[in-house]
Structure 1
């Protein structure tokens, strides 16, 4: 399939630098929190982060699926 002459910048460069910086910042914040907190509290904090991020990702996926009208969850 030939490449079109004009490719929008949003499609040609799908990597958003701010998203990558945000992910790295959240990871660094979690790492620092695990180093600062006592060992007894880190287990519960890890559980809360795991459930929170998994739930957030599932909710975001559901929202995008419904908004775009594609995928298994759209009907």
Structure 2
């Protein structure tokens, strides 16, 4: 009698998408700088979301807050 060996299919694991966030900041609260901050946020939001293998986790932005301390940077 012949012996039949059943082969189980090998199912590759589904790769998990990388969660990607961006950090944008300007060093002063002047109107021109705040426009620059808005442009940075828009650019990085679009850039991250265009990559299908990435999961958009958001953009953290500082509006003229000093980078020397995290004390006043609530969202950081």
**For this structure pair, what is the TM-score category when the shorter chain's length is used for normalisation?**
0.3 to 0.5
TM-score by length of 1: 0.32
TM-score normalised by length of structure 2: 0.32
Higher helix share: 1
